[in-house]
Amino acid sequence: MQPDLSASSLPRVGAWLWPSLWTIFFWGVWGLQSKIIVDRISPWMNQALFPIGLLPVLFWILLSRRARGGVNKVKGGIAALVTGILAAAGNVAFYLALARGGRVSIVAPLTCLYPLVAVILAYLFLHEKLTRLQVVGLVLALVAIYLLSV
């Protein structure tokens, strides 16, 4: 008997899957591009020029009706500003790691463990629950940090 592989028998995947896969692709290419850049200009200049690359995306977003949504635009705007500052600081730290001799094959996967921090903060401040399997995943992420550094 062959397994039923019809569309109705396959588990449904959330609408989040394709954007997540595109994120992996774009950020993966970004990691490689970052190493190429820091071999040519300083991490500081790279971060200064980085926002210029955001302009086409910014114009596209501003033309979208979805950009005007939200229930508390002031608090949301402040949170977005803080997020931008944190992202910029993370970018500079990433570029510095590459510029100081870090191999992209180690630095990129190591820094991609940032969800470890997000999960712990979500547990502490947003009171999100963690399953035992997720805790095992966190422990394995810590093991990955060690394995990437040796």
DSSP-assigned states of every residue in 88-104:
HHHHHHHHHHHHTT--H
Q: What band does 68 get if pLDDT is binned at 50, 70 and 90?
A: confident
User: What integer is the mean pLDDT of 29-41?
Assistant: 88
Using one digit for the tens of pLDDT, what is the confidence trace for 90-149?
999 999 999 999 888 888 888 888 888 888 899 999 999 999 999 999 899 889 888 877
1: CB partners within 8 A, 6+ apart: none
- Cut 0.75: pTM above it: no
pLDDT at 9 over 80: no
User: What integer is the mean pLDDT of 69-96?
Assistant: 89
Specify the amino acid at residue 2: Q
Q: What is the DSSP letter of 6?
A: S
